[in-house]
Amino acid sequence: MAIGGLIAGLFGSLLGLGGGVLIIPMLTLVFGIPMKEAVGTSLICVIATSSGAASLYVKKHMADIRLGMTLELATTIGAIVGGLVAGIIKPEVLAILFSLLLAYIAFSMTRKRAEKNLEADSSNPEDYQVNNLPLGMGASFFAGNISGLLGVGGGVIKVPTMYLLMGVPLKVAAATSNFMIGVTATAGAFVYFARGEVDLLVSGSTMIGVFLGALIGSRMLHLIKTEYMKRAFIIVLLYLSLEMLLKGLNLGFLF
Amino acid sequence: MNNKKDKIDVWVGNVLLVGSYAAAVLLLAGLFALLLSDQTSTARLQSKPLSFSGFFSHLKDRSPLTLLNLGILVMMLTPLLRVITAGLSFFLEKDYKYLLIASGVLIILLANIISILI
Protein backbone atom coordinates (compact mmCIF):
# COMPACT_ATOMS: atom_id res chain seq x y z
CA MET A 1 0.00 0.00 0.00
CA ALA A 2 2.85 2.34 0.82
CA ILE A 3 4.34 1.53 -2.58
CA GLY A 4 1.01 2.13 -4.27
CA GLY A 5 0.80 5.45 -2.45
CA LEU A 6 4.32 6.27 -3.58
CA ILE A 7 3.35 5.70 -7.20
CA ALA A 8 0.14 7.71 -6.83
CA GLY A 9 2.04 10.58 -5.21
CA LEU A 10 4.78 10.49 -7.81
CA PHE A 11 2.48 10.57 -10.83
CA GLY A 12 0.02 12.90 -9.16
CA SER A 13 2.65 15.55 -8.57
CA LEU A 14 4.21 15.11 -12.01
CA LEU A 15 0.84 15.65 -13.66
CA GLY A 16 -0.45 18.29 -11.31
CA LEU A 17 -3.15 16.15 -9.73
CA GLY A 18 -3.82 15.82 -6.04
CA GLY A 19 -3.39 12.08 -6.04
CA GLY A 20 -6.93 11.20 -4.97
CA VAL A 21 -7.76 10.39 -8.57
CA LEU A 22 -5.25 7.53 -8.41
CA ILE A 23 -5.54 6.56 -4.75
CA ILE A 24 -9.23 5.61 -4.85
CA PRO A 25 -9.00 3.23 -7.83
CA MET A 26 -5.87 1.71 -6.29
CA LEU A 27 -7.51 1.10 -2.91
CA THR A 28 -10.82 -0.16 -4.25
CA LEU A 29 -9.73 -2.10 -7.34
CA VAL A 30 -6.36 -3.46 -6.19
CA PHE A 31 -6.77 -3.83 -2.44
CA GLY A 32 -10.53 -4.36 -2.33
CA ILE A 33 -11.19 -1.67 0.24
CA PRO A 34 -14.83 -0.50 0.47
CA MET A 35 -15.55 2.65 -1.53
CA LYS A 36 -16.39 4.89 1.42
CA GLU A 37 -13.28 3.91 3.37
CA ALA A 38 -11.24 4.55 0.26
CA VAL A 39 -12.73 8.04 0.00
CA GLY A 40 -11.93 8.78 3.66
CA THR A 41 -8.38 7.51 3.25
CA SER A 42 -7.91 9.45 0.05
CA LEU A 43 -9.05 12.69 1.70
CA ILE A 44 -6.37 12.25 4.36
CA CYS A 45 -3.75 11.63 1.69
CA VAL A 46 -4.90 14.69 -0.22
CA ILE A 47 -4.25 16.78 2.91
CA ALA A 48 -0.70 15.43 2.95
CA THR A 49 0.09 16.27 -0.67
CA SER A 50 -1.60 19.64 -0.46
CA SER A 51 0.16 20.73 2.74
CA GLY A 52 3.56 19.64 1.45
CA ALA A 53 3.20 21.37 -1.90
CA ALA A 54 1.34 24.44 -0.62
CA SER A 55 4.12 25.23 1.85
CA LEU A 56 6.44 25.76 -1.12
CA TYR A 57 3.95 27.76 -3.18
CA VAL A 58 3.01 29.96 -0.25
CA LYS A 59 6.62 30.74 0.57
CA LYS A 60 7.25 31.68 -3.04
CA HIS A 61 4.31 34.10 -2.76
CA MET A 62 2.44 32.33 -5.53
CA ALA A 63 -0.76 31.63 -3.62
CA ASP A 64 -3.29 34.37 -2.89
CA ILE A 65 -4.02 33.64 0.77
CA ARG A 66 -6.76 36.26 1.02
CA LEU A 67 -8.65 34.96 -1.98
CA GLY A 68 -8.10 31.36 -0.88
CA MET A 69 -9.41 32.08 2.59
CA THR A 70 -12.54 33.77 1.21
CA LEU A 71 -13.35 30.87 -1.08
CA GLU A 72 -12.67 28.42 1.74
CA LEU A 73 -15.79 29.73 3.48
CA ALA A 74 -17.80 28.13 0.68
CA THR A 75 -15.63 25.14 -0.06
CA THR A 76 -15.48 23.84 3.54
CA ILE A 77 -19.27 23.92 3.86
CA GLY A 78 -19.46 22.20 0.48
CA ALA A 79 -17.05 19.48 1.62
CA ILE A 80 -18.98 18.82 4.83
CA VAL A 81 -22.24 18.56 2.90
CA GLY A 82 -20.56 16.29 0.35
CA GLY A 83 -19.20 14.07 3.13
CA LEU A 84 -22.62 13.81 4.77
CA VAL A 85 -24.33 13.01 1.48
CA ALA A 86 -21.74 10.29 0.82
CA GLY A 87 -22.83 8.72 4.10
CA ILE A 88 -26.38 8.16 2.94
CA ILE A 89 -25.98 7.13 -0.69
CA LYS A 90 -24.97 3.69 -1.94
CA PRO A 91 -21.27 2.95 -2.53
CA GLU A 92 -22.16 1.78 -6.04
CA VAL A 93 -23.46 5.23 -6.86
CA LEU A 94 -20.24 6.74 -5.54
CA ALA A 95 -18.22 4.43 -7.76
CA ILE A 96 -20.23 5.46 -10.82
CA LEU A 97 -19.87 9.16 -10.00
CA PHE A 98 -16.14 8.62 -9.55
CA SER A 99 -15.96 6.92 -12.91
CA LEU A 100 -17.60 9.98 -14.51
CA LEU A 101 -15.11 12.26 -12.75
CA LEU A 102 -12.17 10.21 -14.11
CA ALA A 103 -13.59 10.39 -17.62
CA TYR A 104 -14.01 14.13 -17.27
CA ILE A 105 -10.42 14.59 -16.10
CA ALA A 106 -9.13 12.43 -18.96
CA PHE A 107 -11.16 14.53 -21.37
CA SER A 108 -9.92 17.82 -19.96
CA MET A 109 -6.33 16.59 -20.22
CA THR A 110 -6.73 16.02 -23.95
CA ARG A 111 -7.35 19.70 -24.41
CA LYS A 112 -3.92 21.09 -23.82
CA ARG A 113 -5.13 24.62 -23.62
CA ALA A 114 -4.37 25.12 -19.96
CA GLU A 115 -0.77 24.05 -20.33
CA LYS A 116 -0.13 26.29 -23.28
CA ASN A 117 -1.67 29.16 -21.43
CA LEU A 118 0.61 28.51 -18.50
CA GLU A 119 3.63 28.99 -20.72
CA ALA A 120 2.17 32.02 -22.45
CA ASP A 121 0.89 33.50 -19.21
CA SER A 122 2.75 36.79 -19.06
CA SER A 123 0.37 38.62 -16.77
CA ASN A 124 1.93 40.01 -13.66
CA PRO A 125 1.09 37.72 -10.73
CA GLU A 126 1.21 40.72 -8.41
CA ASP A 127 -1.28 42.77 -10.30
CA TYR A 128 -4.75 41.48 -11.02
CA GLN A 129 -8.29 42.09 -9.96
CA VAL A 130 -10.59 39.40 -8.67
CA ASN A 131 -13.94 39.43 -10.47
CA ASN A 132 -17.14 37.47 -10.10
CA LEU A 133 -16.64 36.61 -6.45
CA PRO A 134 -20.21 35.32 -5.85
CA LEU A 135 -19.91 32.99 -8.82
CA GLY A 136 -16.51 31.85 -7.55
CA MET A 137 -18.02 31.15 -4.14
CA GLY A 138 -20.73 29.04 -5.77
CA ALA A 139 -18.19 27.07 -7.79
CA SER A 140 -16.04 26.58 -4.67
CA PHE A 141 -19.02 25.17 -2.83
CA PHE A 142 -19.52 22.72 -5.68
CA ALA A 143 -15.79 21.85 -5.72
CA GLY A 144 -15.99 21.18 -1.98
CA ASN A 145 -18.98 18.96 -2.62
CA ILE A 146 -17.09 16.84 -5.13
CA SER A 147 -14.15 16.69 -2.75
CA GLY A 148 -16.18 15.54 0.23
CA LEU A 149 -18.23 13.13 -1.84
CA LEU A 150 -15.49 11.50 -3.91
CA GLY A 151 -12.29 12.04 -1.94
CA VAL A 152 -10.42 14.20 -4.43
CA GLY A 153 -9.00 17.67 -3.92
CA GLY A 154 -11.38 19.43 -6.28
CA GLY A 155 -8.63 21.39 -8.03
CA VAL A 156 -10.12 20.26 -11.33
CA ILE A 157 -12.94 22.70 -10.66
CA LYS A 158 -11.19 25.38 -8.61
CA VAL A 159 -8.37 26.18 -11.02
CA PRO A 160 -10.54 26.81 -14.11
CA THR A 161 -13.02 28.77 -11.98
CA MET A 162 -10.39 31.16 -10.68
CA TYR A 163 -8.61 31.42 -13.99
CA LEU A 164 -11.50 31.68 -16.43
CA LEU A 165 -14.26 33.25 -14.37
CA MET A 166 -12.47 35.33 -11.77
CA GLY A 167 -9.56 36.73 -13.77
CA VAL A 168 -6.83 35.24 -11.58
CA PRO A 169 -3.53 34.44 -13.39
CA LEU A 170 -3.19 30.70 -13.99
CA LYS A 171 -0.11 30.18 -11.83
CA VAL A 172 -1.73 31.98 -8.92
CA ALA A 173 -4.95 30.01 -9.49
CA ALA A 174 -3.06 26.69 -9.38
CA ALA A 175 -1.12 27.64 -6.24
CA THR A 176 -4.20 29.06 -4.49
CA SER A 177 -6.25 25.98 -5.35
CA ASN A 178 -3.55 23.79 -3.87
CA PHE A 179 -3.48 25.96 -0.77
CA MET A 180 -7.26 25.64 -0.36
CA ILE A 181 -7.35 21.89 -0.91
CA GLY A 182 -5.77 21.16 2.48
CA VAL A 183 -8.63 22.85 4.30
CA THR A 184 -11.29 21.44 1.97
CA ALA A 185 -10.03 17.90 2.44
CA THR A 186 -9.73 18.37 6.21
CA ALA A 187 -13.36 19.43 6.45
CA GLY A 188 -14.43 16.37 4.46
CA ALA A 189 -12.01 14.02 6.23
CA PHE A 190 -13.45 14.79 9.66
CA VAL A 191 -16.89 13.70 8.47
CA TYR A 192 -15.51 10.30 7.39
CA PHE A 193 -13.42 10.14 10.53
CA ALA A 194 -16.60 10.61 12.59
CA ARG A 195 -18.20 7.61 10.88
CA GLY A 196 -15.13 5.48 11.58
CA GLU A 197 -14.39 5.20 7.90
CA VAL A 198 -10.73 6.13 8.11
CA ASP A 199 -8.68 3.00 8.70
CA LEU A 200 -5.49 3.64 10.64
CA LEU A 201 -3.19 1.23 8.94
CA VAL A 202 -4.51 1.75 5.43
CA SER A 203 -4.38 5.53 5.60
CA GLY A 204 -1.07 5.61 7.49
CA SER A 205 0.77 3.52 4.94
CA THR A 206 -0.87 5.07 1.88
CA MET A 207 -0.29 8.55 3.23
CA ILE A 208 3.42 8.16 3.83
CA GLY A 209 3.79 6.73 0.33
CA VAL A 210 1.89 9.61 -1.22
CA PHE A 211 3.87 12.17 0.74
CA LEU A 212 7.25 10.72 -0.26
CA GLY A 213 6.06 10.22 -3.84
CA ALA A 214 5.00 13.85 -4.09
CA LEU A 215 8.31 14.94 -2.60
CA ILE A 216 10.29 13.01 -5.19
CA GLY A 217 7.89 13.94 -8.00
CA SER A 218 8.15 17.67 -7.41
CA ARG A 219 11.94 17.42 -7.63
CA MET A 220 11.86 15.28 -10.77
CA LEU A 221 9.43 17.54 -12.56
CA HIS A 222 12.04 19.38 -14.63
CA LEU A 223 13.85 16.16 -15.62
CA ILE A 224 10.95 14.43 -17.31
CA LYS A 225 9.12 15.18 -20.52
CA THR A 226 5.57 15.16 -19.31
CA GLU A 227 4.04 15.17 -22.79
CA TYR A 228 4.34 11.41 -23.38
CA MET A 229 3.52 10.60 -19.82
CA LYS A 230 0.39 12.65 -20.12
CA ARG A 231 -0.84 10.68 -23.13
CA ALA A 232 -0.20 7.40 -21.38
CA PHE A 233 -1.94 8.73 -18.34
CA ILE A 234 -5.08 9.68 -20.27
CA ILE A 235 -5.37 6.03 -21.32
CA VAL A 236 -4.84 4.88 -17.74
CA LEU A 237 -7.55 7.26 -16.55
CA LEU A 238 -10.02 6.02 -19.15
CA TYR A 239 -9.26 2.44 -18.20
CA LEU A 240 -9.75 3.20 -14.50
CA SER A 241 -12.94 5.06 -15.30
CA LEU A 242 -14.29 1.99 -17.06
CA GLU A 243 -13.29 -0.33 -14.21
CA MET A 244 -14.90 1.94 -11.64
CA LEU A 245 -18.07 2.03 -13.74
CA LEU A 246 -18.16 -1.78 -13.89
CA LYS A 247 -17.55 -1.92 -10.18
CA GLY A 248 -20.43 0.47 -9.61
CA LEU A 249 -22.67 -1.71 -11.73
CA ASN A 250 -21.42 -4.82 -9.90
CA LEU A 251 -20.27 -6.39 -13.14
CA GLY A 252 -16.80 -7.40 -11.99
CA PHE A 253 -13.54 -6.69 -13.73
CA LEU A 254 -13.04 -6.15 -17.40
CA PHE A 255 -9.49 -7.48 -17.41
CA MET B 1 2.22 46.46 1.87
CA ASN B 2 4.29 43.99 -0.05
CA ASN B 3 6.52 43.46 2.91
CA LYS B 4 3.62 42.59 5.17
CA LYS B 5 2.16 40.23 2.59
CA ASP B 6 5.50 38.42 2.47
CA LYS B 7 5.44 37.90 6.20
CA ILE B 8 2.06 36.13 6.19
CA ASP B 9 3.24 33.89 3.37
CA VAL B 10 6.36 32.88 5.26
CA TRP B 11 4.49 32.15 8.47
CA VAL B 12 1.73 30.17 6.86
CA GLY B 13 4.25 28.34 4.68
CA ASN B 14 6.29 27.38 7.72
CA VAL B 15 3.28 26.04 9.59
CA LEU B 16 2.40 23.84 6.61
CA LEU B 17 5.99 22.71 6.20
CA VAL B 18 6.59 21.82 9.84
CA GLY B 19 3.16 20.20 10.22
CA SER B 20 3.44 17.95 7.19
CA TYR B 21 7.02 16.88 7.87
CA ALA B 22 6.29 16.22 11.54
CA ALA B 23 3.35 14.05 10.53
CA ALA B 24 5.46 12.20 7.95
CA VAL B 25 8.17 11.45 10.52
CA LEU B 26 5.57 10.13 12.98
CA LEU B 27 3.99 7.94 10.29
CA LEU B 28 7.34 6.54 9.17
CA ALA B 29 8.32 5.79 12.75
CA GLY B 30 4.93 4.16 13.35
CA LEU B 31 5.18 1.96 10.27
CA PHE B 32 8.70 0.84 11.12
CA ALA B 33 7.65 0.05 14.67
CA LEU B 34 4.73 -1.97 13.29
CA LEU B 35 7.01 -3.93 10.99
CA LEU B 36 9.34 -4.69 13.87
CA SER B 37 6.55 -5.76 16.20
CA ASP B 38 5.20 -9.29 15.98
CA GLN B 39 2.97 -10.11 13.02
CA THR B 40 0.02 -11.59 14.90
CA SER B 41 -0.74 -8.37 16.70
CA THR B 42 -0.49 -6.34 13.50
CA ALA B 43 -3.01 -8.58 11.80
CA ARG B 44 -5.36 -8.17 14.72
CA LEU B 45 -4.99 -4.40 14.68
CA GLN B 46 -5.54 -4.14 10.96
CA SER B 47 -9.07 -2.86 10.77
CA LYS B 48 -9.05 -0.27 13.52
CA PRO B 49 -10.61 3.04 12.59
CA LEU B 50 -8.80 6.22 13.42
CA SER B 51 -10.06 8.02 16.51
CA PHE B 52 -9.17 10.60 19.12
CA SER B 53 -9.83 8.18 21.96
CA GLY B 54 -7.91 5.45 20.17
CA PHE B 55 -4.80 7.53 20.55
CA PHE B 56 -4.92 7.29 24.33
CA SER B 57 -5.79 3.60 24.41
CA HIS B 58 -2.90 2.82 22.04
CA LEU B 59 -0.66 4.92 24.24
CA LYS B 60 -1.63 2.77 27.22
CA ASP B 61 -0.89 -0.42 25.28
CA ARG B 62 2.40 1.04 24.03
CA SER B 63 1.19 0.08 20.58
CA PRO B 64 3.02 1.35 17.47
CA LEU B 65 -0.43 2.43 16.31
CA THR B 66 -0.08 5.41 18.65
CA LEU B 67 2.49 6.89 16.30
CA LEU B 68 0.33 6.26 13.24
CA ASN B 69 -2.74 7.70 14.93
CA LEU B 70 -0.81 10.75 16.08
CA GLY B 71 0.79 11.23 12.66
CA ILE B 72 -2.59 11.28 10.94
CA LEU B 73 -4.07 13.60 13.55
CA VAL B 74 -1.13 16.00 13.14
CA MET B 75 -1.66 15.95 9.38
CA MET B 76 -5.39 16.62 9.79
CA LEU B 77 -4.82 19.47 12.22
CA THR B 78 -2.13 21.19 10.14
CA PRO B 79 -4.59 22.97 7.82
CA LEU B 80 -6.56 24.05 10.88
CA LEU B 81 -3.40 25.50 12.39
CA ARG B 82 -2.61 27.38 9.23
CA VAL B 83 -6.06 29.00 9.25
CA ILE B 84 -5.31 30.16 12.80
CA THR B 85 -1.86 31.40 11.77
CA ALA B 86 -3.26 33.36 8.83
CA GLY B 87 -5.98 34.77 11.10
CA LEU B 88 -3.39 35.92 13.64
CA SER B 89 -1.31 37.63 11.01
CA PHE B 90 -4.39 39.39 9.62
CA PHE B 91 -5.06 40.57 13.18
CA LEU B 92 -1.51 41.89 13.57
CA GLU B 93 -1.90 43.74 10.29
CA LYS B 94 -5.23 45.16 11.48
CA ASP B 95 -6.83 43.67 8.39
CA TYR B 96 -10.13 43.06 10.14
CA LYS B 97 -12.12 42.08 7.07
CA TYR B 98 -9.90 39.08 6.46
CA LEU B 99 -9.61 38.35 10.16
CA LEU B 100 -13.39 37.93 10.08
CA ILE B 101 -13.19 35.64 7.05
CA ALA B 102 -10.46 33.49 8.62
CA SER B 103 -12.52 33.27 11.82
CA GLY B 104 -15.48 32.14 9.74
CA VAL B 105 -13.47 29.32 8.19
CA LEU B 106 -12.14 28.37 11.61
CA ILE B 107 -15.65 28.29 13.10
CA ILE B 108 -16.89 26.01 10.31
CA LEU B 109 -13.97 23.60 10.85
CA LEU B 110 -14.27 23.66 14.65
CA ALA B 111 -18.05 23.15 14.52
CA ASN B 112 -17.39 20.15 12.31
CA ILE B 113 -14.85 18.68 14.74
CA ILE B 114 -16.96 19.40 17.82
CA SER B 115 -19.99 17.72 16.25
CA ILE B 116 -17.81 14.59 16.01
CA LEU B 117 -16.76 14.68 19.64
CA ILE B 118 -20.26 15.03 21.09
Contact A183 B20 (CB under 8 A): no
Cβ–Cβ < 8 Å for A59, B9: yes
Query: The complex's ipTM?
Result: 0.80
Contact A65 B12 (CB under 8 A): yes
DSSP secondary structure of A46-80: HHHHHHHHHHHHHHTT-S-HHHHHHHHHHHHHHHH
Tell me if the pTM is above 0.90: no
Contact B10 A56 (CB under 8 A): no
* Least confident interval from A52-66, A71-85, A101-115, A182-196: A101-115
For B83-109, write each residue's pLDDT tens digit: 998 888 888 888 889 899 999 999 999
Residue A132 CB burial class (10 angstroms; 0-12, 13-18, ≥19): middle
| Region label for B72, one of left (φ > 0), alpha (ψ between -120 and 50) or beta (otherwise) | alpha
HSE of A29, CA atoms in CB hemisphere, 13 A: 25
* Least confident interval from A37-46, A198-207, B29-38: B29-38
Contact B49 A66 (CB under 8 A): no
DSSP secondary structure of A221-247: GGGS-HHHHHHHHHHHHHHHHHHHHHH
pLDDT category of residue A78 using cuts at 50, 70 and 90: very high
Distance, in Å, from the CA atom of A113 to the CA atom of A89, rounded to the nearest integer, reads 36
Pick the residue of B18, B20, B61, B116 with the most A CBs within 10 A to test the interface with A by mutation: B20
Cα A249 to Cα A20, A26, A131, A255, B99: the distances in Å are 21, 18, 42, 15, 47
Query: What total number of domains does chain B contain?
Result: 1
Distance of residue A190 Cα from the nearest chain B Cα, in angstroms:
7
Mean pLDDT of A62-86: 89
User: Would you state the pLDDT for residue A80?
Assistant: 92
In chain B, residues with a C-beta closer than 8 Å to the C-beta of A207 are: 27, 71-72, 75
Distance, in Å, from the CA atom of A159 to the CA atom of A219, rounded to the nearest integer, reads 22
User: Would you state the pLDDT for residue B105?
Assistant: 92
For A123-181, write each residue's pLDDT tens digit: 555 567 787 788 889 899 988 888 888 888 888 888 888 888 888 888 788 888 888 88
Domain ranges of chain A: 2-117+132-248
For A212-226, write each residue's pLDDT tens digit: 877 777 676 666 666
For B48-73, write each residue's pLDDT tens digit: 566 666 656 666 666 677 788 888 88
Contact B72 A52 (CB under 8 A): no
Nearest to B104 among A52, A56, A73 (CB): A73
Cβ–Cβ < 8 Å for A18, A46: yes
